[in-house]
Chains A and B, each alone.
Chain A
Amino acid sequence: GESVGLHLPTLSVQEGDNSIINCAYSNSASDYFIWYKQESGKGPQFIIDIRSNMDKRQGQRVTVLLNKTVKHLSLQIAATQPGDSAVYFCAAGGTSYGKLTFGQGTILTVHP
């Protein structure tokens, strides 16, 4: 079956630093990937997604990199702010009616 895992459970950075959160997936049939941010007591909030035919996608202060060869993706947050502190999940999806498989989550803490 498919699994999605994160390399590090916690990440602490200083305000203004760049953050990189990593994720590995196991199912080579996954064709899209999403990064979600979850703040305490709230539902996952969409950050950015990427399709399997791409290797990089940029948003506002965020970049997702996809390496299909090693089944790895990362989320880069530029100039991290205290408001970025949250749990970040990667999720992988295939063609199966939008079912997403989530990773374990990385806790990002940004110190002012």
Chain B
Amino acid sequence: EPEVTQTPSHQVTQMGQEVILRCVPISNHLYFYWYRQILGQKVEFLVSFYNNEISEKSEIFDDQFSVERPDGSNFTLKIRSTKLEDSAMYFCADSGNTNTEAFFGQGTRLTVV
């Protein structure tokens, strides 16, 4: 069964440092998303991406965040200057169409110290 793959599984970084979280979506899917889940809380939408541009972003997705699909396969989330409150699980997801199920990766646990 095809799956969304995320790396690394766990990243520890110092406050103020830049991090890049990586995702390899399912090959024929066109719509990509990043979500985050702070420990013990619900999953929150960050951003959606289609046709090499952002389709929608939430209020969480401020200027510190950016997304790219640099080589046509990998899909990345960059946080320029991490804050303690950025510590969370970050999930990449994708779907074949806008109105179908989103397949989630296993997540990257980001810990900012």
Contacts and interface: CB of A to CB of B under 8 A. Distances in A.
B107 interface: yes
Given A42-B106, A45-B104, A98 B99 contact: yes
Given A32-B99, A104-B42, A105-B42, A97 B56 contact: yes
B95 interface: yes
Contacts of B50: 97
Contact of B43 (A46, A89, A95, A98): A89
Contact of A98 (B102, B104, B105): B102
A98 B95 contact: yes
A97 B101 contact: no
Contact of B55 (A49, A91, A97, A103): A97
Contacts of A83: none
A99 B48 contact: yes
Contacts of B33: 98-100
A72 to B, nearest CB: 18
Interface in A28-85: 31-32, 34, 36, 41-46, 49
A44 B56 contact: no
Contacts of B65: none
A102 interface: yes
Contacts of A41: 106
Contacts of A105: 42
Contact of B48 (A98, A102, A104): A98
A44 B43 contact: yes
Contact of A95 (B31, B35, B98, B103): B98
A83 B56 CA distance: 36
B44 interface: yes
Interface of B: 4, 31, 33, 35, 41-45, 48, 50, 55-56, 91, 93, 95, 97-107
Interface of A: 31-32, 34, 36, 41-46, 49, 89, 91, 93, 95-105
